[in-house]
Amino acid sequence: MDLLRIALLFAVTAVAEIVGCYLPWLVLRQGKSALLLLPAAVSLGLFAWLLTLHPAAAGRTYAAYGGMYIAVALLWLRFVDGLALTRWDVAGATIALAGMAVIALQPAAR
């Protein structure tokens, strides 16, 4: 898989995980309808399934995914929570994405 395809799959996976966790947060912290737990469960199921689409070993996939999760969570902070990102947020996401690329694109073991 090339970096763009891996990154896109990780980004969609991160959105599924964040939505699956955000909806219960709305129920528990903001008193929203418990019906939100149904799409949350579906979203978390989608998240787990999406992780299986990566060809790498599970541990390596999870490690690389962490970098994209950080970046997507910060985009969520900006566009859903409405908070401005700091230069520290951007620097941290850049470092995390570089780590994701190093892990995801390493040469195959021979």
Return averaged pLDDT per consecutive 10 residues of the chain, 110 residues in all.
Answer: 83 96 97 98 96 84 90 97 98 95 80
In a domain, 109, yes or no: no
In a domain, 92, yes or no: yes
The structural domain count of the chain equals: 1
Which one-letter DSSP state was computed for residue 56?
Answer: S
* Alpha carbons 40 and 46: distance in angstroms, whole number: 10
* Domain extent for 29: 3-104
Instruction: Name the residue among 20, 33, 31, 10 with its Cα closest to residue 104.
Output: 10
Q: Which helix (H) or strand (E) holds 60?
A: helix 58-79
In a domain, 72, yes or no: yes
pLDDT, position 110: 55
Compute CA 75 distance to the chain's CA centroid, rounded to the nearest angstrom: 10
In a domain, 110, yes or no: no
